[in-house]
Amino acid sequence: MLDLHLDLDRAAGRLGVQLAARLRDAIRSGRLVPAARLPSTRALAQDLGVSRGVVVTAYEQLAAEGFLVSRPGDGTRVARLPAVPAPAGRARPEARGTLDTLPE
């Protein structure tokens, strides 16, 4: 089984929200790579000591956000995320120039 090292704080409440955040962070940081198969909801719930509903909620949220893909018979996998565009207002180096260098 994939060892995710996910820590949930039961005192903080909203375990599904916490789990979704931990999984989202693992995807963004590259710990979970595209196409990686996640444990079944039952297996992950048992591993974390939470109800299956907590895991289902987290998986559904991340699927809705585009981080996970779920297919019958194939389980739940990490989605291939598109490249992150450069922040607005910051020109790429090749796009910089002055008006007098533009062609007429």
CATH number for the domain whose boundaries are 33-80: 1.10.10.10
Q: What is the pTM of this model?
A: 0.74
| H or E, element range at 71 | strand 68-71
Which residues, listed in sequence order, are joined to residue 19 by a DSSP beta bridge?
none
Amino acid found at 90: R
For the chain, give every domain's residue range: 33-80
- Euclidean distance between CA atoms 8 and 98, whole angstroms: 52
Which residues, listed in sequence order, are joined to residue 71 by a DSSP beta bridge?
75
Q: Give tens-digit pLDDT for 11-57.
A: 888 999 999 999 999 999 999 999 999 999 999 999 999 999 999 99
- Euclidean distance between CA atoms 103 and 12, whole angstroms: 60
